Structure 1
């Protein structure tokens, strides 16, 4: 049956070819037939290669799932590290912010520059002028968010990380141990040769590296979805997916991103989400009592933002930002709230305010994200 079908298809194709070659010389007809056979052979080879590779098409899966991506971001001033008395305490403060972000499943942590002195130039090409405390803060946050087995690839020795060892680990869902099973893993692309140059090897913290059928430059951090293991297969295989895919596909929190803003106005202007933040919350002891905020007021949003002040509060930070033309700081936010009314201490440190605020808002809006 297969031979008859093949002969019939060949006859039909040849007939179609002959109808298109009327009026051509014999040499031109032979050239066309040769070209047609070559194209047909190439197609057969491509099909065989795809069957051997076990894939029909190599694509990066996007986060276009039926469920919608809802995010919550927090913004904290870099000056809270400047006010710490030693590098050990700076590492501890950054660790507290990172722990709070992970516990309450925050998607983005923004460190904005509120330093009074002139910004210091960075020695790194990827970073423009910014307070050194902002850069240190951002580096510590990124270090903690990165899975342990990847840190040697992305974080060389640096003075900012001198006391990173005293920070409590996040133990986030994507911080997987070697013996843990999960459909997704964070990895780094390697500069390692692949047989027949078919794809890229990725280090994902397992005993074996994962082969993905996509050519990528080495040194990239990627999210990998592991394919089910096949019998008698010596290689682990997977595919590159969006960092948001574990959250959308399996409701699995996959860490936070870190962004540096050079002022509080840039927190709003450089939002990475399409449409910007549609819910903004400012925190202050001069704000509205959190108990007066109703759940229904905080329900309908896609991308939320909570902004925290430093030692002198948000009022002082907004006043120093010349690009903001607001008479009252509360006009900058959808809600300006006091999350710890009737406090016993005269002051609440920012790292304390982050925990308090996220705990209070969890009852009202964060639980919508964390279902």
Structure 2
């Protein structure tokens, strides 16, 4: 059966860049890699086909030969080299390490095996007040997790014994199988990928190397944290299996709603109600700030409802910077609901004066309205 065109296999053009070719191969390799499609022969063939195409098109010299002679360049014609004796496993190890890490590469080590048996990461939600977020604080956290077994020091082996290197995989945790011209690595079935076997399991942890227990940590929450921020405590997650690296603990910050301040990033907001006479005549008002202090602000005469005033540096600390956001105060003009006789008289008199000299905003609105009605 005739071989498919290498460009068609990867779904690229002759003019595609090396990066485009690499991306196309990566997509196919992720989809059809034998470690992900265990036992699927069709996927395995597609993976081999894509790997062969990438081997040729990723190298400028091989690509040039292929563009000139086609598949004949690698079947003896045109001075090419065939694939019958080609070691795909060693040639592609750097590609797989780049794409997937050591577990898909040509080689593997105890460090990659240790990562596979690494403990799970844990999540812990912390609620704090806006004032706590402003000041920062130290908080004690207590949570349930799987800790390293002290009796066997995490090895899983009973006292007086120790794990034995797996004779099947020689401690690698994986075995390599040749399938045609391609080499596939799989988890060792004898040691389940640990690289070691235990003849006498620990009675306390049953050979797992970890037991469930309570953990207590103290965490510093910095000034300026925001809702949804997270803090990572390395190695404070679940213990790894049989002495492998522990996972991490992620603390997710949730900030309680405040009854006065609203927050948007480093800035704070609230509404300040004032009388309509203060809005018209102007005044000076003492207002609160998140640090617990007070600030005086001047409301100029003729301040309109909804006007926003700013107090620089009175907002939240900016995380990891020695700077602060601002406090924005929105003016809300409160109209009296009930009036005394004297107040009504004064306002009636004021209204007469107003009618002689209409407010510019009101005048402009009704001029626009008249034009609208005419049209």
Alignment TM class, shorter chain as reference? under 0.3
- The structure with more helix, counted as a fraction of residues: 1
Select the structure with the greater relative contact order (CA < 8 A; seq sep ≥ 6): 1
Query: Radius of gyration: which is bigger?
Result: 2
